[in-house]
Structure 1
Amino acid sequence: MTQADNFYTLKGYSLLEQTKITSSMEDYLEMICRLHHERHPVRIKELAECLHVKPSSASKMTGNLKKQGLVAFEKYGTVSLTEEGMELGEYLLFRHNVLHRFFCYINQNTDELEQVEKVEHFIDPQTVYNIQKWLNKFA
């Protein structure tokens, strides 16, 4: 079986990708972007509440996003998106919305949040854009 060389574990595929941020970091960045659209400024306490985590965890992860150049953040201050953070955050929101729309359509349901949260980090951008095209044509 020559195709066996192409199979990896999920961790193996993750290691092959040269991703800048982890799935958890994506969740935080997506929420920061979502909150940014709703109101400004974004505070750690609010971010923690929205993601159901402790403020200390939100603060630590925001520090990691800052190291990656995706947010600006000072301790006890507000979180703002850098230009790169806004660009990536907008894509993460887009991806989330496309997948939510898709799963709601195929499952004939109005809320597929849990399913989207479980799969959104593992889907290729090209597939997201192709799902969007499909939805525009058929849904």
Structure 2
Amino acid sequence: MAPKNRSILRDEPLPDADVHSQGFRQTREAQRSALVEDYVELIADLIEDGNEARQVDIAARLGVAQPTVAKMLARLAADGLVSRKPYRGVFLTDAGRKMARESRDRHQTVEAFLRSLGVSAETARIDAEGIEHHVSAETLEAFRRAMAE
């Protein structure tokens, strides 16, 4: 039987409740922001690729229905991240471009780090898509330092 205040899976005692809950709060916040960041980053990618970011293209690339995209675009517009023009595509605001740059930077760092560990390009790209939203600035910096060595 595990000693009192010890985890069954490890030897350290459980952290203080406030400290312990911090990790769960951070994860929930990352999950909430992940979808927004994915949309904004994809919109930036479509625009930079020389195309307009149209609702139909966003839906196809994310593998979701157009009404789902329409709902998210309304949210992004309300949050000041995108602007929409009738009969045209979606455009990023300054705040949206900033978010897209930060998200892309995190993704590229995580993907490069995974590649430096020997992970295949395809797996690194896919895994980085999830990890990028959950990794802290401290961990990203550690990834960069490890790759520079």
How would you bin the TM-score normalised by the shorter chain?
0.7 to 0.9
- Taking the aligned partners of 1:125 and 1:52, their CA distance within structure 2 comes to 29
Give identity over the alignment, percent. Answer: 22
CA RMSD of aligned residues (A): 2.4
Counterpart of 2:105, as a letter, is: F
2:80 aligned residue (69, 81, 103): 69
For residues 2-61 of structure 1, the C-alpha deviation after alignment (integer angstroms, 9 at most, x for no partner) is 83231127653346x6x8x62111111111111121113210101111111111111111
Q: Is the Cα contact below 8 Å between 1:95 and 1:128 reproduced in 2? A: yes
- TM-score under structure 2 length normalisation: 0.77
Give the TM-score of the pair, scaled to structure 1. Answer: 0.82
Which residue identity lines up with residue 47 of structure 2 in the other structure? H
Rg: which structure is higher? 2
- Counterpart residue number, 2:67: 56
Give the alignment partner of residue 100 of structure 1, picking from 111, 117, 121.
111
Letter in 2 for 1:7: H
Alignment correspondent of 1:24: 35
C-alpha separation between the residues in 2 aligned to 1:77 and 1:4?
53
Aligned pair count reads: 134
Structure 2 Cα separation of the partners of residues 10 and 134 of structure 1: 24
For residues 98-119 of structure 1, the C-alpha deviation after alignment (integer angstroms, 9 at most, x for no partner) is 1111112213422212211221
Q: Which amino acid aligns with 1:8?
A: S
Aligned mates of 1:23, 1:53 — CA distance in 2? 16
Gaps of 5+ in 1: none
Structure 2 unaligned runs (5+)?
A: 1-12
Shift of 1:75: 6.0
AA at the equivalent of 2:130: K
